[in-house]
Amino acid sequence: MIDEIVQQTSLEDLKNILNNNWRDGYTIPSARLYPFQWNWDAGFIALALSYFNQDRAMEEVEFMFKSQWDNGMLPHIAFHKQNDNYFPGPDIWKTDSLKNSSKSVSSTGITQPPVFGFILNRMQDQMQHHSEWRQFLNKIFPKVVAFHRYLYENRDPHQEGLVYIQHNWESGTDNSPLWDHIFESMDVSNARDVAHLRKDNKLVDASERPTNENYKRYIHLIDLFVACDYDDASIAASSPFLVQDVLFNSMLVKSNFGLIELGKYLNLDVAEIENWNKKTVQAINNKFWDETTGFYYAFDLRINKRIPIKVSSGFMPLFAGIASTDQAASLLINLTNSFMKNDNWYLCASCAFDEPSFNPLKYWRGPVWINVNWMLYHGLSYYGYTETAERIKKDSMELVEKHGCYEYFDPRPLGEAQDKRGIGADLFSWSAALYLDFVYNNEIF
Ligand code: GLC
């Protein structure tokens, strides 16, 4: 048994992970599994770069926005350079010939959680003395607003102030049990088999990855988007996947708040963003909150039902300051009762351990993620739950120090778990990036 091997994690080691994952303009999440630039990863990475390489921090964001479509959509992956080590690549997405897509960079045709509004706002303190920051902000600010406008205008069919996601990869929590019922009931009689094309399950332990049956469904959705020419109205009319997600909408609110602050700093009119935001905050509390269980749940627009599964995304309204103090208290009860089996568990499991779909080793079905922990830390601190917040910070740092900069971690303590706790991709950029933010910036936001 490997027993608690403490790796000497120095800040230099962590910076080196980001340096080694740098590819002339952008940072990849991890060389083995993710060889391109990912959307919300780029946000967390840019934040860390703002502490030690400010030119690069701006370049990271600029490169992500090179992939932005004319309608404002910010893709989930920018394929800046060719790499055959990933599936599905540009040949599957077929976005290059679209009228709307970026003409300078190939990309996927779906998006990811909108983090840039709050990320740029958190970068502001460190960056404001950089001679090019203001000019940079003036250029990037309208692009982030255009992304939010795209979401409000194209992903909110009932004008509720809540935007929907059209693929599990848009959620950021790709393998969450929230999507199981959709994939189980999906008609795949015309779907193609893609098992032989996959790379992910050959690069890391296949038992920790989604099944081939799941991948068939993920690609079937993309084939449908291609058939619809990525027209959102056609997709909304014909796709089985239409979900209003708690994490995604909470990120939108947090980023709206970030944009409002930055817009004021730039002397811009922010009324449009304030109006969006008020509506979304209210709608999250009206539609996602369940009083009986004291928790926030995603909503499936296709079947017009809540998805009654407790996952860590349900805590994200804390990060965005959406919950009332009573709601925050109920969330805390859920955190301690359902997300840690005993006090030796690491916070915060990505799925409640009392859910039938809980699995401590499968990604987004149980393992701890450093980005979720970082957002939860800020949320709990904001509501005054300092002790639990500090515990989450300590757990996050300890996991990275003891096991390395992995993509996700088994929440169980050794003894209950196998030796291996760090899982998925190694030398993972956002785990390094947010550890650095924990160290360099004590300010709660
Ligand atoms: C995984 C995560 C997703 C992340 C991507 C790249 O697919 O689920 O959120 O953006 O890896 O790191």
Nearest CA to ligand 1 atom 4: 172
> What is the model's pLDDT at position 2?
35
365-393 confidence digits (pLDDT tens): 999 999 999 999 999 999 999 999 999 99
The pLDDT confidence band at residue 207, using thresholds 50, 70 and 90, is confident
Cβ(29) – ligand 1 distance below 6 Å: yes
Residue whose C-alpha is closest to residue 217's, from 183, 171, 170, 261: 183
The pLDDT confidence band at residue 417, using thresholds 50, 70 and 90, is confident
Largest CA distance in the chain: 60
Nearest CA to ligand 1 atom 12: 29
End-to-end, the C-alpha distance of the chain in Å comes to: 41
| pLDDT over threshold 60, residue 217 | yes
The yes-or-no answer on residue 407 being catalytic is yes
Side-chain half-sphere exposure of 91, counting CA atoms within 13 A: 6
> What is the model's pLDDT at position 14?
97
From the CA atom positions of the chain, what is the Rg in Å? 20
The pLDDT confidence band at residue 421, using thresholds 50, 70 and 90, is confident
Q: Choose one of 83, 174, 215 to mutate for the ligand 1 pocket test, by most ligand atoms within 8 angstroms of C-beta.
A: 174
The pLDDT confidence band at residue 415, using thresholds 50, 70 and 90, is confident
Residue of 41, 60, 395, 407 marked active site: 407
Residues 267-305, buried b or exposed e (16+ Cβ, 10 A)? ebebeebeebbebbbebbeebbbeeeebbbbbbbbeeee
> What distance in angstroms lies between residue 408's CA and the mean position of ligand 1's atoms?
10
> What is the model's pLDDT at position 1?
33
| pLDDT over threshold 80, residue 106 | yes
Cβ(41) – ligand 1 distance below 6 Å: yes
| pLDDT over threshold 90, residue 8 | no
Indicate which atom in ligand 1 lies nearest the CA of residue 428. Answer: 12
Residue of 62, 160, 174, 223 marked active site: 174
Would you call 111 helix, strand, or coil by DSSP? strand
> What is the model's pLDDT at position 208?
81
Residue whose C-alpha is closest to residue 74's, from 157, 121, 134, 142: 142
Tell me whether residue 414 is exposed, middle or buried, using C-beta atoms within 10 angstroms of its C-beta: 0 to 12, 13 to 18, 19 or more: middle
396-406 confidence digits (pLDDT tens): 999 999 999 99
60-87 confidence digits (pLDDT tens): 999 999 999 999 999 999 999 999 999 9
> What is the model's pLDDT at position 333?
98
Contact 430, 370 (CB under 8 A): yes
Indicate which atom in ligand 1 lies nearest the CA of residue 429. Answer: 12
Q: What are phi and psi of 299, to 5 degrees?
A: -125, 130
> What mean pLDDT comes out for the span 256-274?
98
Nearest CA to ligand 1 atom 2: 172
Cα 122 from Cα 47, distance rounded (Å):
7
Cβ(172) – ligand 1 distance below 6 Å: yes
Cβ(180) – ligand 1 distance below 6 Å: no
The yes-or-no answer on residue 96 being catalytic is no
